[in-house]
Structure 1
Amino acid sequence: MTALPRRTRVAALALTAALGTVLTGCGSDDGSDTPVATDPADSSTTPAETEVDPETGASEDEVTVPVYFVGDTPQGPRLFREFRTVPADNPLEEAAALMAAGDALDPDYRTAYPDGAFASVEYADGGFRVVLPDDTWTTTSGLDSSEEAPLAVQQLVYTLQGVQQERVPVTVLVGDSPVTLFGVDTAAGVQAEPQLDVLGLVSITSPEEGATVSGTFTASGVASSFEATVPWEVRRGDEVVLDGFATAEGWMDKLYPWEAEVDVSDLEPGEYTFVARTDDPSGGAEGAGPHEDTKTITVE
């Protein structure tokens, strides 16, 4: 990919010892992708550029960014976030490429985008300019269904805004002319829709897919769940071998962080599934049912 001008590069997210692993620790986990080094209530904060971190050993050539993928929920397809490490010289294009290709770590995630790629992605003059190589993605042709068109647009908006840490509009172009993206007009710039309308209502940040754990580990994520209760389970196959719940920092208006200590020291070594879900006090009698997210883990 062609490197973007210096002004368009996203500054590397500040990686501190508090982040833990590079993929699971980045971000304040308040649902806004705000780095921990900034005020978690300010979702528009741009992280400062940083060199290699001597404590974590994070490479100055890489940066950790949020990338949004599509997953299934009882309310239909919604967006889920993964933190990914990409080259630091052009993280916007790298993140957009992962997103469009559906190159997710979690096999439950996919992309709404049909085959293809962006010609360029840049941040300039207070907005994102996304250039398509042709008009293939300007209509709903190739999508699984026309209903996925708005979600595909939001997948791009949430990813770019999360990487750049600025809630600024996205305009899609062919050449120098603004065009529709899957039939959605972008000429005036597209903004992120409310979280509760487009995101899965619970997601797991840590452990990441395929993580190896032992003893007691900290599970974390974001959720909007009844009375801020986030039930969790550890399953081996269909058997629930551990369960408990976390209490999120809030609910109803957006996704809030949750965290739980999970003691797997008494489990036999092997492969398990960690599950987090929204609380459903009606037992399925009301509404569409609970949202959930899962991660495959290995217990040592």
Structure 2
Amino acid sequence: MNDQNSNEPFDELMRRALRDEADRIEPADALPEIRARAHAQRRPAARRPWLLTAGVATVGTAAAIGAFTVFNGNNNLANDGDAVAGPGTTTSASGVPQSQTPSRVTPSPAPATLPPTTLPPTTSPAVKTSRPTDRGKPEQSVASAVVPVYWLGQQLGTPTKSTARLYRTWSKVSGHPAEEAVRIMTTKQPEDPDYYSVWRGAAVNSVTRSDGVVTVDFKQLPKTTLAPDLANVATQQLIYTVQGALADDTSAVQITQQGRAGQKLFGQVDTSAPLGRAQAADVQALVWITSPSEGAVTGSKVTVQGTANAFEATVNYQLTNLKTRETKKSFTTTEEGQKFSPFAFSVSLSPGPWQIDAYLISDADGSITNTDSKTIVVK
């Protein structure tokens, strides 16, 4: 009670002081001042929204800030296509890499995209040395099939003896048709002594297919070094044989040794990438006899059939009895000129061994330019 009474004068003094101070205050209309202050505070924020965005982005990674600067601050770079995308990047229709196009400018935990000058180096398809390859699926096995096998034959009327052309024969095989055709081409001797192969010493391992490419893998490639022209035609010998056995003249052929590409075939041909089929007129013989076959035994009436790419559709022929030297000589025509087209003619022959020659004559100097021959026995 005593403590409470002692504080009464102080409390009374405080109350009186507060009343006196309140009496001295004169009320005024402060609403206009409050509105002016609020308006002054809003204007900077409305004028610089990027400041708020940058403030939020600071909390994120530097990658998000970099993306904002490139794609919103420099439209020319965003439309430079490959200059921005770099190798191995998918681009959208506008030319901006799809993987780099931001849907909005927000902080992102993703790592920053490297600029074009610092992209990791990529391996060029042209630089593929001794690389492993995807062999794909093996060809389907068959009980029996007749496949084409191509051989080399000397081309007449050329300045060098290394010039050759492709001649086709047929062989019956079982198993994997293309693999067996290559095995015949590399290990067998053609029936026609005018034909030959430079693939001796090669050992085929498999023939497989994947994504439009046929891979021919060898346990061992031939070690022979050839002149460039002959090496190219010999390479086409393999390509034509494989494509013919597969009935597919569009798929490229990848040549490998023990699963690896890049060896120089015949010391000349780069095998680091799949090889395509050359134009027939550049590598095939311009005239060949398809029937009768070498060594055939026939009756006295003989029909000769063949294919030729002949000037003015003219194919010349000569038949010689190798025992009596009797000769029959004339010409026939192909169904169409200046393109590979069939021809045929029939003759009556006396008994004995005969040589049939079909050939083309140069319209420039009258020399024989291309020829094919077959030896038969007439009973």
Equivalent residue for 1:170, pick from 247, 250, 253: 253
Q: CA deviation at 1:225?
A: 1.4
Q: CA deviation at 1:7?
A: 6.2
Computing the radius of gyration from Cα coordinates, the structure with the larger value is 2
Q: CA deviation at 1:197?
A: 1.0
Q: In 2, Cα distance between the equivalents of 1:277 and 1:240?
A: 19
Would you say 1:223 and 2:308 are equivalent positions?
yes
Q: Name stretches of at least 5 consecutive residues in structure 1 with no aligned partner.
A: 12-60
How do residues 84-95 of structure 1 correspond to structure 2 at under 5 angstroms? 84-87=171-174, 89-95=175-181
Return the structure number with greater relative CO, CA threshold 8 A, min gap 6: 1
Q: CA RMSD in A?
A: 2.5
Per the alignment, residue 295 of structure 2 pairs with 210
Q: In 2, Cα distance between the equivalents of 1:132 and 1:6?
A: 16
Q: In 1, Cα distance between the equivalents of 2:326 and 2:214?
A: 45
Q: Name stretches of at least 5 consecutive residues in structure 2 with no aligned partner.
A: 1-135
Per the alignment, residue 241 of structure 2 pairs with 159
Aligned residues between the structures = 236
Per the alignment, residue 166 of structure 2 pairs with 79
Mark the CA change 1:283 to 1:217 in structure 2 (over 3 Å): closer, same or farther: same
Per the alignment, residue 370 of structure 2 pairs with 291
Equivalent residue for 1:150, pick from 219, 224, 232: 232
Equivalent residue for 1:279, pick from 346, 349, 361: 361
* Structure with higher helix content: 2
What letter is aligned with 1:171?
A: Q
Identity across the alignment (%): 31
What letter is aligned with 2:345?
A: A
Mark the CA change 1:248 to 1:299 in structure 2 (over 3 Å): closer, same or farther: same
Q: In 2, Cα distance between the equivalents of 1:240 and 1:190?
A: 47
Q: In the alignment, is the contact (CA less than 8 A) between 1:8 and 1:124 conserved in 2?
A: no
Mark the CA change 1:132 to 1:6 in structure 2 (over 3 Å): closer, same or farther: closer
Q: CA deviation at 1:80?
A: 0.7
Q: CA deviation at 1:171?
A: 0.2
Would you say 1:8 and 2:87 are equivalent positions?
no
How do residues 1-300 of structure 1 correspond to structure 2 at under 5 angstroms? 8-9=139-140, 61-74=143-156, 75=158, 76-87=163-174, 89-134=175-220, 136-137=221-222, 141-167=223-249, 168-180=251-263, 181-182=265-266, 183-237=268-322, 239=325, 241-252=327-338, 254-264=339-349, 267=350, 269-282=351-364, 284=366, 289-300=368-379
Q: CA deviation at 1:240?
A: 5.1
Q: CA deviation at 1:275?
A: 1.0
Q: CA deviation at 1:246?
A: 2.2
Per the alignment, residue 46 of structure 1 pairs with none
Mark the CA change 1:206 to 1:280 in structure 2 (over 3 Å): closer, same or farther: same
Mark the CA change 1:85 to 1:6 in structure 2 (over 3 Å): closer, same or farther: farther
Question: Quick check: 225-234 or 115-124, which moved more?
Answer: 115-124
Question: Quick check: 142-151 or 93-102, which moved more?
Answer: 142-151
Per the alignment, residue 32 of structure 1 pairs with none
Q: CA deviation at 1:126?
A: 2.4
TM-score, normalised to structure 1's length?
Answer: 0.71
Task: Give SS of 2:190's match.
Answer: coil
Q: In the alignment, is the contact (CA less than 8 A) between 2:137 and 2:210 conserved in 1?
A: no
Q: In 1, Cα distance between the equivalents of 2:356 and 2:141?
A: 33
What letter is aligned with 2:337?
A: W
Q: In the alignment, is the contact (CA less than 8 A) between 2:262 and 2:273 conserved in 1?
A: no
Q: Write the deviation string for residues 171-193 of structure 1: whole angstroms up to 9, x where unpaired.
A: 01234332243342234311111
Task: Give SS of 1:97's match.
Answer: helix
Q: CA deviation at 1:144?
A: 4.7
Q: In 1, Cα distance between the equivalents of 2:241 and 2:256?
A: 18
